[in-house]
Structures are given as structure tokens and as C-alpha cells.
């Protein structure tokens, strides 16, 4: 390709650009008027050039992302029919969630387990059951979202005990592949900053490497949530791949890239003006795709207050199909390469997260930091700041005062109190708008009572 058009223009240095901008500001200070600092401590500039690129090799993809449908297993035949229907309508991956042991032969009937990417999430820990499923399917495309450390962080307790949980997971990881998950989505949904999410996820994974050795690296995969900070969420996923690669180098491991299962966040989803959730999830799914997610599992616009329903799930799946097939993002994971802005914040996030990761390791590691409550305190502080600053359209910004939700709620949409004794203070997933929504619902209730009197 000829460079004739580009050769017609003289190259301009960043210094020259900055001087020109300073002149056009008519006396205003460049640093004060055009630079701003994020909660991550990253300074955002008004322009970026090739000099902002850093010398690192991005992870290249040769395949597109998987579209995943989430299905809860209550009755095996119903879950099976829902899975087959989702696969026929465009999904090529299924996440099965279960609270108890089930008949996996019935569940997987007529599903091509060798070509379909399957994920399993159990709220219990059972080595015999999990290894039986792994042996029955016998596919590298099957992933088990088993995370004993994540369970401790979220529930405050081990499934049984530290020793028994690790012994059980050791049995599982010796007999199956893709069997250890790191629930990085927990940190996002509890209010951690992006830097914290990256550092905590890396330290979380490092506990498994410390316990089982580097051989476990190829069995670990990651579950992330993405929020509405579009470019930063793209950079977050890219930064984590860099961090994971650097960590594995310390174990003399190469050629193992992070497998990322990504969902939109629940944290910024709202009860009122819920159709805006469609816009949020679309933007977030795009961040996941451009950030390099292997599998994207969208959530429905009404997931916080309605049971799973055909309409909501279909819309959520179709959002991904439109992005994949009509927006030409079927193989889009490398599109951010060469974007000076995204590459700059990717590198800065990776650097800042690495510093925090090293601090955690020097202080005894992630489990110790959880035990003494350091992780919980830092996330609580970040979450509090986020809740004060967040602007949610239709909820705390440009609120529709005529919007009513009291009669539409099927599922309790708020954090539930758990009066149980815990070993550590648990991390609690909480939406930003919960306090305001409770007030509005109470006002609705009082209004209904007043009319009935």
C-alpha cells in the first residue's frame, strides 16, 4: 500500500501538540484544565501518540468468542431442553448452575459435549461427582467453576475446612482439566477498583499455584465481570493477560494464556428504568469482546428482579449475536491493538496492579490478607467512594418520578442478611443503587396504602 497520502503531512511531536493546545487555552493551565485522574490513579491526557505505546507483546487470538447461555439445573429434562433450544438459537456454550447433585447423563442428552463449550458452577464441593462428569464428557472444552478461595471470600467460610477443601480440590485437579476457577467477578461486584480487581485476582490465583505447583496453571481459568467504564474494562482484560503471563514466567511456565469467562456486572444494574440495563449490558459485552474474552455470557435486563424467562434470555443472547454477526465482532479480540489510548491505560493498569500484588505477597499472601480483613477493608473503602460518585441514568440521574416497580418484583433484589457465624468477614455483592431503590419502593408502598385508606 502506498504511503503517498501520509507522506504529504509533516510529523508532529507530542511536545509540539502540547504547545499548540497550551496556546489555544488562552492562559488556562494545561494540567489543570485538560488532565484528570481516575480512581485508579491514572492520569488521562487529551491526546495520545505512538510514544505512549509500551514495549510488550499483546496476546494474539486466532478464534472468536463463545456465546454462553446460563441455565440453572433444577429438573434435568427441563434444563436439557433449555440448553438445546439455546444452542439451536445461536449459543455455542452453556453454563449449568446447580445447588445439588444431578443426573448428568439426562442433563447432557443429545448435546454434543465434544464441540460445545460447557461450564459447570456448583454451590457445593464434591470430588467424586465432579470427576465423574469430567470423565464422562472427556473434553478440553469443559470448564468447572470450582473456586474454594472464592467461596471463602464470599461466604466467609470454607466448604468444610481449609485442609479438607484443598485436599478435595487436589483430588479434582489430579483427575480433570480446567477444574480450578478464580472468581474475579466477586471483586468487581463488591466495589473494588480495576487495579484492585487485577491484583486480587492474580494473588488469588497465585494461592492455587503455591498450593499445587506450576502444573496447575493450565487447569486454572478466570471469571470476570465488566462494568460501564468502556475503555478501561477493555484494558482491564488485556492487562490481566499480561499479568498472568508475567506471573507464570516466575514459575518457568510459558505458552499458557489466561482463559477468560466474562459477564456484565450486576453492580450498576438498576431496578427502576430497567430498560437502560440493555444499553449497559451491550456496552459491557463489547468491552468483554474487545478485551479478549474467550466466552461471553450476557445477563438479561430484568435479572435482578425477575426469574429467568424466555423473553429476557432471548434478548440477552440476541445482543451477543448482533455484536458477533451484524457488528462484525466475530473475531474482534485483537481490534484494540495499536490504539495508543487503550494500550497506554492497559500498561498503566498492569503496572499498578503488579505493585499491589507484590505488596500482598510480601504481607503473607492473599489468604492471610483475607483472614485479617485487609482485602475487605480496602474494597469497602473503594465501594463507598464509587457509590457516592456513580451516576445511574433513570435512578439517581434524570430520574423518572412516575416509574413504579412495586408490583413487578418477583425476586428480592437486595442484599440478604445472613445470620451465620463466619471465619472471616465475607465480601458481599451489592448493587450501587440499592439504598435509593429501597427508599423509592417504600414511598410506593406508602402511596398505595394511602390510596386504599
User: Tens digits of per-residue pLDDT, 153-187?
Assistant: 999 999 999 999 999 999 999 999 999 999 999 99
Question: Alpha-carbon Rg of the chain, whole angstroms?
Answer: 23
Q: Residue 161 and residue 8: Cα distance in Å, rounded?
A: 69
* 353 neighbors 199 (Cβ within 8 angstroms): yes
Question: Does residue 65 carry a pLDDT above 70?
Answer: yes
Q: Average pLDDT for residues 125-136, to the nearest whole number? A: 98
Predicted confidence at residue 22, as pLDDT, reads 83
Place 59 in a pLDDT band, splitting at 50, 70 and 90. low
Per-domain residue ranges for the chain? 66-349
pLDDT value for 96: 98
User: Hey, how many other C-beta atoms are within 10 angstroms of the C-beta on 325?
Assistant: 12
Find where cell 449449568 sits.
96
Residue written as cell 502540547?
18
Q: What pLDDT score does 226 carry?
A: 98
At 82-92, the pLDDT tens digits run 999 999 999 99
Mean pLDDT of the region 297-322: 96
Write the pLDDT tens digit of every residue in 390-426: 888 888 788 888 888 888 899 999 998 888 899 999 9
Q: From CA 233, how far away is CA 224, in angstroms rounded?
A: 10
Judged by average pLDDT, the poorest of 17-21, 210-214, 427-431 is: 17-21
C-beta of residue 39 within 8 angstroms of C-beta of residue 382? yes
DSSP structural state of residue 397: B
What are 96's strand-pairing partners? 71, 120
Return the pLDDT at 4.
58
CA–CA distance, 48 with 68 (Å, rounded to integer) = 36
Of the pLDDT bands very low, low, confident and very high (cuts 50, 70, 90), residue 56 is: low
Residue 336's pLDDT is what? 79
Mean pLDDT, range 97-124, rounded to an integer = 97
**pLDDT (0 to 100) of residue 2:** 54
The pLDDT value recorded for residue 14 is: 83
Q: How far apart are CA 58 and CA 360, in angstroms?
A: 26
User: How many C-beta atoms lie closer than 10 Å to residue 420's C-beta?
Assistant: 9
Q: Give me the pLDDT at residue 374, please.
A: 97
Q: Answer yes or no: is pLDDT of 97 > 70.
A: yes
Q: In what order do the strands lie in the sheet with 220-226?
A: 142-144, 117-122, 93-98, 66-72, 295-296, 260-264, 220-226, 180-183
Higher pLDDT, 18 or 269: 269
CA distance 266 to 289: 18
Name the more confident of 77 and 28: 77
Distance in angstroms (rounded) separating the CA atoms of residues 60 and 144: 25
Cβ atoms within 10 Å of 389's Cβ, excluding its own: 9
Fill in the DSSP letter of residue 402.
T
Question: DSSP string covering 312-352, please?
Answer: HHHHHHHHHHIIIIISS-TT-TTTTTT-HHHHHHHHHHHHH
Name the average pLDDT for the chain.
92
Share of the chain above pLDDT 70, in %: 95
Residue 262 has pLDDT above 80, yes or no: yes
Burial, 41: exposed, middle or buried (Cβ in 10 Å; 0-12, 13-18, 19+)? exposed
Res 163: pLDDT: 97
The pairing of strands 180-183 and 142-144 is unpaired
Residue 55 in this model has a pLDDT that exceeds 80: no
**pLDDT for 200 beyond 90:** yes
Q: pLDDT tier at 452 (50, 70, 90 boundaries)? A: confident
Is the pLDDT at 303 greater than 90? The verdict is: yes
7: confidence class by pLDDT, cuts 50, 70, 90: low
One DSSP character per residue, 100-152 reads S---HHHHTTT--TTTSEEEEEESS--HHHHHHHHHHH--TTEEE---HHHHH
Tell me what percent of the residues of the chain surpass a pLDDT of 90.
74
The whole-number pLDDT of residue 115 equals: 95
- Residue 61 binned pLDDT confidence (cut-offs 50, 70, 90): low
CA quadruple 246, 251, 254, 256: dihedral sign: negative
Fold annotation for 66-349: TIM Barrel (3.20.20)
pLDDT value, residue 60 = 60
Phi and psi dihedrals of 163, rounded to 5? -65, -50
Amino acid at each position: 500500500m502506498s504511503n503517498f497520502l501520509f507522506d504529504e503531512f509533516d510529523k508532529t511531536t507530542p511536545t509540539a501538540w502540547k504547545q499548540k493546545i497550551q496556546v489555544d487555552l488562552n492562559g488556562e493551565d494545561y494540567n489543570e484544565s485538560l488532565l484528570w485522574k481516575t480512581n485508579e490513579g491514572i492520569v488521562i491526557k487529551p491526546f495520545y501518540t505512538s510514544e505512549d505505546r509500551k514495549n510488550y507483546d499483546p496476546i494474539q487470538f486466532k478464534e472468536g468468542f463463545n456465546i454462553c447461555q446460563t441455565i440453572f439445573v433444577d429438573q434435568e429434562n427441563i434444563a436439557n431442553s433449555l440448553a438445546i433450544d439455546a444452542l439451536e438459537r445461536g449459543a455455542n456454550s452453556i453454563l449449568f448452575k446447580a445447588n445439588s447433585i444431578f443426573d448428568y447423563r439426562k442433563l447432557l442428552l443429545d448435546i454434543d459435549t465434544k464441540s460445545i463449550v460447557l461450564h459447570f458452577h456448583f454451590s457445593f464441593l464434591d470430588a467424586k461427582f465432579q470427576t465423574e462428569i469430567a470423565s464422562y464428557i472427556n473434553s478440553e472444552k469443559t470448564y468447572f467453576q470450582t473456586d474454594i478461595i472464592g467461596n471463602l471470600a464470599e461466604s466467609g467460610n470454607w466448604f468444610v475446612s481449609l485442609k479438607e477443601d484443598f485436599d478435595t480440590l487436589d483430588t479434582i485437579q489430579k483427575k480433570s482439566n480446567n477444574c480450578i476457577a478464580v472468581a474475579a467477578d466477586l471483586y468487581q461486584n463488591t466495589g473494588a477498583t480495576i487495579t484492585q480487581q487485577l491484583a486480587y485476582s492474580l494473588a488469588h490465583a497465585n494461592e492455587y499455584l503455591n498450593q499445587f505447583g506450576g502444573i496447575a496453571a493450565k487447569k486454572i481459568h478466570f471469571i470476570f465481570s465488566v462494568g460501564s467504564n468502556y475503555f478501561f474494562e477493555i484494558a482491564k482484560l488485556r492487562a490481566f493477560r499480561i499479568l498472568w503471563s508475567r506471573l507464570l514466567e516466575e514459575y518457568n511456565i510459558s505458552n499458557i494464556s489466561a482463559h477468560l469467562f466474562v459477564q456484565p456486572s450486576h453492580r450498576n444494574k438498576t431496578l427502576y428504568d430497567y430498560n437502560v440495563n440493555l444499553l449497559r449490558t451491550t456496552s459491557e459485552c463489547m468491552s468483554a469482546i474487545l478485551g479478549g474474552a474467550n466466552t461471553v455470557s450476557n445477563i438479561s435486563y430484568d435479572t435482578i428482579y425477575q426469574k429467568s424467562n424466555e423473553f429476557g434470555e432471548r434478548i440477552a443472547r440476541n445482543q451477543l449475536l448482533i455484536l458477533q454477526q451484524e457488528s462484525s465482532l466475530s473475531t474482534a479480540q485483537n481490534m484494540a491493538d495499536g490504539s495508543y489510548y487503550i494500550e497506554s491505560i492497559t500498561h498503566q493498569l498492569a503496572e499498578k496492579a503488579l505493585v499491589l500484588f507484590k505488596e500482598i505477597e510480601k504481607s503473607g499472601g492473599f489468604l492471610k490478607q483475607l483472614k485479617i480483613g485487609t482485602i475487605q477493608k480496602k474494597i469497602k473503602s473503594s465501594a463507598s467512594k464509587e457509590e457516592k460518585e456513580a451516576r445511574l441514568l433513570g435512578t439517581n440521574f434524570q430520574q423518572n418520578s412516575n416509574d413504579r416497580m412495586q408490583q413487578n418484583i418477583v425476586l428480592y433484589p437486595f442484599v440478604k442478611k445472613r445470620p451465620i457465624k463466619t471465619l472471616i468477614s465475607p465480601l458481599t455483592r451489592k448493587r450501587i443503587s440499592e439504598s435509593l431503590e429501597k427508599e423509592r419502593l417504600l414511598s410506593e408502598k406508602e402511596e398505595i396504602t394511602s390510596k386504599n385508606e
